[in-house]
Each structure stands twice: as structure tokens, then as C-alpha cells.
Structure 1
Amino acid sequence: MEEMVITAEIRKEKGKSAIRKIRKQGYIPAILYGKDTSTVMLTIFEREWKRLSKNLKKTSILKMQLKKNGQIEDLSVMVKAIQKEVYKDNILHIDFLHISMGRKVEVEVPIHLTGQAKGIVNNGVVEQHLRTIVVECLPVRIPEKIDVDVTELDIGDSIHISDLSRAYPELKFLEHPEVAVVTVIPPETGEEARVEEETEKEEA
């Protein structure tokens, strides 16, 4: 995969009027912070961000080229938060986390179900309880996604965090081991829940 590079400049101006001026000039205000990094206000070029963000994922590690004192400092960063304008896709602000490739980080990773559960043959319903999971690991170990194979699940069976820990020993899962990730439930369970919800609406 091609290395993702973002250029940033240190920003001294702050306040609403300064931020509006920055945006009119085609830049996005941002901030950089980290465990051993002083918080720094930045600007990044909006056009460059739009190009980069097309392939950006929650687990992506970027190379930030920070212009500082007439020189360029290369940093490894992750995007921690993106603030968007309400009802529009305009980016208002971005938070970057400075990471060390030799130090573990916490990151939210999407969960992806694979296979077809045995219970589906008996009209069971696959119910996914978690869509993402927070893990702790070295940056080079961050997975793009957590694959969870549901093939062997029959009605009433579940896969728990403890099962993922055995499948991914290089990751530390920050949820309780007994938390269910996915369960195959009986078909009437889903129907009963729907009828109960409709009844409550009629009585309200």
C-alpha cells in the first residue's frame, strides 16, 4: 500500500476570526498531541486532505511532514477526531495523535463477520452486538478489521471477546472477555421483539 503523507504547518493564530480566515485561504485548522508531545496547533491544505481522505480508515497511520523552523520533521500520526459542519461535508477541524512505532496504542477497529452460520438453516437470525472494538497493540500490528467467522454458530451460540483474544493473540481487547460479539438467535425472538415494539407504540 502506498504511504499516506500529509503536510502540516504550525499555526499561531487562534480565535474565530483567525479560523475563518484560514478556511477562506483553503486550509483546515488542526491540532497535534501525544503522550510525549506538546500540543501544537496546525493547518493542513484542504485539497490535500480531500485527496488523502478517500482512502483513509480508522486504523490508518499517516506520515505527517511538519514544517517547523524552516525544516521538515517527519512524524507518525493517526486521526483521532474529525469535526464536520452540521448537515454539510465541510471539515471544520481535525485532531491528530502523534504515535511512536515502538509504543502500543489504543485504536478502534471495525468488526467484519464472515461465513454463513449453521443456525440460518433453521431460520436463526445472526445478531451482531458489536460493530467496532477497541484494541491495544503496536502500530505495526493494527489490523484493518477484525474478521469473525460465524460458520459454526448454531441457534443459541455466541462468539465472545475471549474467543477473539485467542484468535488474535497479538492484540489486547479492552472489552470484558465475556461480552458477546455476535449471537445466532431463534427466529421467534426477533418477531416477538417487533410485535412488542408495535404494541407499545399503539398503547402510547
Structure 2
Amino acid sequence: MSVLLQATRRNKGPRGELSKMRNNGMLPAVVYGYNTESIPVVLDYKETAKAVQKYGRTSVFQLEVEGKKVNAVITNVQRCALKGHVKHVDFLSINMSEELEVEVPVVAVGESAGVKVGGVLNQPVRELKIKVKPAEMPDQIEVDVSSLEIGDVISVRDLNLNFEILNADEDTLFTVTPPGVAKDDTAGQGDTENADIKATEAPESEN
């Protein structure tokens, strides 16, 4: 289901104009891609953030600009380096009948047997790149880790999903290590991603 967001075309202006928009609770953005010109727009920040928190950043958003509705997904998000709040969002207009490549969060489900006896659940890969039609795009990919003993591994090749995964088969999603063995990344049981406007970071733009 597409999530409707109201967007207003804006004129490209100096940096100060964008700062005024942000101070007034607005979110500068750009819409480009399938069957549309590149359009600079502005949205209500709170309404946009609320929609992303509720439906997930991989959802299809229907933007209404000057009476025209466009199906789009979030591609790039620019954030303030100091405060972390979102400064600008890129929306990619899409064809709902064609597959796209998107990155989707991977979430552990259940408590592993190894963790119950003191092991540590590690998650080296937190997102998977998949190829899927927009209407079938999941908010997240849940992986049952309850059967993992200490030393066990779940890799991409172990997944049985209804869409194509573009990561390498040997990429490790989850593993359980013995107590005291340090790893670069660990995952709490059932972690979910921070509910905010999140996507691939991009260099700051004043489009």
C-alpha cells in the first residue's frame, strides 16, 4: 500500500532559503526518475517522519505534487553532521510493475540456544540488497536465530525468500561466539532499526 504525502514544488534558492524552510518545520526534497522531471519540492517534516516511522523507509510513498501523484521510494537522506536531524531527502519515482534494487534491514527473531548458555549473537551484515517489485517490498527481513548454538552460522545461502538476494551466498548474517570472544559487531535479540527517516547517506546538496 502506498503512503500519501503532500509535497509542494519549491524554487531553487540560496542556502539561507533552505534554512528558513527547515526552521519553519519543512523538509526540502527532490523527486526524480520514472516518468517525471527532476522536481525540487518541500514536505512537512513531522508528517514525513511520522510516515517513515510507521511504515518503514523501504515503503512506497505516493507524493502528490501540483495535483499529480507519483509513486516513489527514498534513496538518499542528508543529515546535519552535528544534530543528526534530516536536512534533505531524495525520492526516486518508480514504475510499480518493474523490479527495483533496494537495501532492506535484517532483524533477528527469537533467542538463540547459544545465547541462553552465555554465548554472544553477532550480526556482521545488517542489511541485504534485494531485487523485488515495489508492491512486494518488505519493511525488513526477519531471520529466526533460535536454533543457533555456539559456533553456528546463518549465511545468505540459508535464507529461503520469494525474491532475489544480491549479496554473496557466503555473507554471514548471524553467528554465535563463546563468551569473552570480541567481535566487531553484535546484535541484540529482536533488534529493530531506529525509527527515523533513514537511508543511504549522501553528500549535502542544495537542490
Larger-Rg structure: 1
Match of 1:117 in 2: 112
Identity across the alignment (%): 28
- The CA distance in 2 between the partners of 1:133 and 1:36, in whole Å, is 28
Residues 28 and 87, structure 2, Cα contact 8 Å, conserved in 1: yes
Residues 58 and 108, structure 1, Cα contact 8 Å, conserved in 2: no
Counterpart of 1:106, as a letter, is E
Deviations 1:17-46 (A, max 9, x none): 443454455532211122554322112234
Counterpart of 1:175, as a letter, is N
Give the CA deviation at 1:13.
2.6
Give the CA deviation at 1:87.
3.0
SS of equivalent residue, structure 2 residue 108: strand
- The CA distance in 1 between the partners of 2:116 and 2:84, in whole Å, is 43
Instruction: Give the gaps of 5 or more residues in structure 1.
Output: 192-204
Residue correspondence of structure 1 range 1-204 to structure 2 within 5 A: 4-23=3-22, 26-67=25-66, 72-88=67-83, 90-164=85-159, 167-168=160-161, 170-190=162-182
- The CA distance in 2 between the partners of 1:84 and 1:41, in whole Å, is 18
- The CA distance in 2 between the partners of 1:146 and 1:139, in whole Å, is 15
- The count of residues paired between Structure 1 and Structure 2 equals 183
Deviations 1:97-138 (A, max 9, x none): 111111111222111112232333553322221122221101
RMSD: 2.5
Of structures 1 and 2, the one scoring higher in RCO (CA 8 A, sep 6+) is 2
- The TM-score with structure 2 as length reference comes to 0.76
Compared with structure 1, are the counterparts of its residues 147 and 49 closer, same or farther at alpha carbon in structure 2 (3 Å cutoff)?
A: closer
Compared with structure 1, are the counterparts of its residues 22 and 150 closer, same or farther at alpha carbon in structure 2 (3 Å cutoff)?
A: closer
Instruction: Flag the structure with higher helix content.
Output: 1
Instruction: Give the gaps of 5 or more residues in structure 2.
Output: 184-207
